[in-house]
């Protein structure tokens, strides 16, 4: 089941994490074809490999599946972080950015904790992008969450 998070931006264009509202819904090919395509590729990988592999295995397999399906993606893209307008030397590295606008973060964990969600929210904040998918291959059934800010 997909979980969809919607966040409010403040007047300074920073994400306000205190007012998170959660909506659970199924992906829609008509409303969000890009997310639908990415999730479909992830389902194909999970169906073929099952659970139990390391995250790096799923990342490599998903890259192949995305290419086969014609989904444009950049793997392990660095995101700059700014503090008081100055870029920091430390960078975030996303697993993928697809369609130039969707962060895709992969996990291979038995259970997702709030830590992974915070990681994705920080990636959105650092990148300025508005949509992300958190995909977990570590369970019997594929888990995914869609974040929209």
Among the ranges given (73-77, 110-114, 141-145), the one the predictor scored with the smallest mean pLDDT: 110-114
- In DSSP notation, the chain reads -EEEEEEEE-TTS-EEEEEEEEEE----TTT-HHHHHHHHHHHHHHHHH-S-S-HHHHHHHHHHHHHHTT--EEES-EEEEEETTEEEEEEEE-SEEETTTEEEEEE--SS--HHHHHHHHHHHHHH---EEEEEE-SSSS-EEEEEE-
Q: What is the pLDDT of residues 77-91, one digit of tens each?
A: 998 888 898 999 999
- Identify the pLDDT of residue 80: 87
pTM over 0.95: no
* pLDDT higher than threshold 80 for residue 65: yes
Instruction: Read off the pLDDT of each residue in 115-127 and give the average, rounded to a whole number.
Output: 92
Q: What is the pLDDT of residues 10-56, one digit of tens each?
A: 344 444 444 444 343 445 667 899 999 999 999 999 999 999 999 99
């Amino acid at each position: 089941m997909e979980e969809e998070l919607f966040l409010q931006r403040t007047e300074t264009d920073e994400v306000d994490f205190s007012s998170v509202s959660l909506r659970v819904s199924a992906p829609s090919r008509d409303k969000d074809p890009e997310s639908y395509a990415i999730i479909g590729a992830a389902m194909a990988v999970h169906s073929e490999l099952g659970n139990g592999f390391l995250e790096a295995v799923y990342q490599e397999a998903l890259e192949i599946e995305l290419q086969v399906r014609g989904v444009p993606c950049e793997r392990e893209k660095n995101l700059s972080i700014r503090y008081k307008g100055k870029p920091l030397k430390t960078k975030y590295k996303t697993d993928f950015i697809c369609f130039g606008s969707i962060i895709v973060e992969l996990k291979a964990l038995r259970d997702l904790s709030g830590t992974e969600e915070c990681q994705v929210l920080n990636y959105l904040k650092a990148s300025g992008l508005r949509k992300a998918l958190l995909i977990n291959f570590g369970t019997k059934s594929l888990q995914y969450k869609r974040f929209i800010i």
